[in-house]
Amino acid sequence: MAGLKLREKVTRFLKEHPEEKFTAREIATWLFETYPEACRAKKERSDTLNSDDELLTQIVAEIGAIRPDIQKKTPQVKTTEERPRKYYFTSKTDAQEVEDVEQLGVSGAAAEDHGGTPDVEPSYTQGGKKKLLEYELYPMLSQYLWTEFGIYSRRIDEKRAANRRGPNGNKWLYPDLVAMEDLSAEWHREVKSCVNQYSDKQTKLWSFEVKLLLNRSNVRECFFQSVSNSSWGNYGYLVAAEVEGAETLKELRMLSAAHGVGLIHLNTGNPAESQILVPAHERTEIDWDTANRLATENKDFLHYIKVVRQFYQTGDPRPLEWDLPESELD
């Protein structure tokens, strides 16, 4: 891009705003506002760019095209994999990035024992953007599952389980959220009654493991934690507020093909705009032996099973028993 030296200016802009994340359109807008003469000259040289909006879209496309070259020359420039992709500059290693977000998450999770109020105030990045704690993602995920799929979900707190396996003994057993899909929501009452008597194919049971950040340093551990925690249900998903790097997403797709667990990107700014990046494979049967083990050792999971059992018996999903948005409970 003659005149603008796009690679140089994008890299410098990100370096001057370390740890802040920007979409290609936000970077292009900055370029348009900061270098108006160079942008105007580019438009005048083009036979196809007839407006400022078309020029902005072209710059966005060119930023995406030079991304691999920028990252090859400046590895500290990283990207997230949600849509739209976000660009940022960091001197931290992948492991340090995960450690930073998990340190915040530990404080928030511990606060759930005290009414869900975090022990510390959430920190803020430059630019005033709030850093979320992991426990703050759970209601967002519940909102997305209900809005997009009509799925009833509940929080499972591993601290309410008997721990017979030492430190982190429950980490590989209990998902963060579980859910029930009512396949009979639109069925005639006679069909419901028939299914209640002769089949248990009235629901699909879901499992979700939630993370603040997935990158190359933690992707395999988090994925296999999700595999372990979801082995009992029909669908298992790993859910992340951020997925960093194309190689991370490639690894997740490969692992999913082998083990069936899917991936959801949770849009924390607008949960309804969250995306299934990798669909989960359905398991046709519930592993009731594993479900029994979880229910025996965890009161939250036991209550989940009780609500599912009551639904089998009555056809009533009991909305108050689930973590639904408040507007659905009025």
Q: Which token pair is 44? A: 């005048």
Point out the least confidently predicted range of 52-56, 100-104, 321-325.
100-104
Q: Is the dihedral of CA 214, 253, 83, 55 positive or negative?
A: positive
Q: Average pLDDT, stretch 326-330?
A: 69
* Residues linked to residue 206 through DSSP beta bridges, in sequence order: 179, 235
Q: How many other C-beta atoms can be found within 10 angstroms of the C-beta atom of residue 329? A: 9
- Helix/strand/coil percentages in the chain, nearest 5: 50, 15, 35
Res. 74 pLDDT band, cuts 50 70 90: very high
Quick one: what percent of the chain has pLDDT higher than 70? 82
0.95 cut: is pTM over it?
no
Q: How far apart are CA 113 and CA 97, in angstroms?
A: 26
**The CATH number of 6-89 is which of 1.10.30.50, 3.40.50.2300, 3.30.2270.10, 1.10.10.10?**
1.10.10.10
The β-bridge relationship of strands 177-182 and 22-23 is unpaired
**Cβ atoms 267, 274 nearer than 8 A:** yes
Q: Give pLDDT tens digits for 277-305.
A: 999 999 988 888 888 888 888 899 989 98
User: What contacts 283, CB < 8 A, 6 or more positions away?
Assistant: 233, 234, 235, 260
User: What contacts 194, CB < 8 A, 6 or more positions away?
Assistant: none
Residue with tokens 């000259």: 41
Instruction: Spell out the domain ranges in the chain.
Output: 6-89, 134-328
The β-bridge relationship of strands 235-243 and 262-265 is parallel
**Does the pLDDT at position 27 exceed 60?**
yes
* DSSP labels, 169-187: TTTTT--SEEEEEETTTTS
Res. 80 pLDDT band, cuts 50 70 90: very high
Question: How far apart, in Å, are the Cα atoms of 285 and each of 188, 234, 304?
Answer: 24, 7, 18
Q: Give pLDDT tens digits for 191-219.
A: 666 566 555 567 899 999 999 999 999 99
**Does the pLDDT at position 127 exceed 80?**
no
Q: What is the pLDDT of residue 326?
A: 78
Q: Name the CA dihedral angle for 140, 238, 308, 306, rounded to a multiple of 10 degrees.
A: -90
* Residues linked to residue 104 through DSSP beta bridges, in sequence order: none
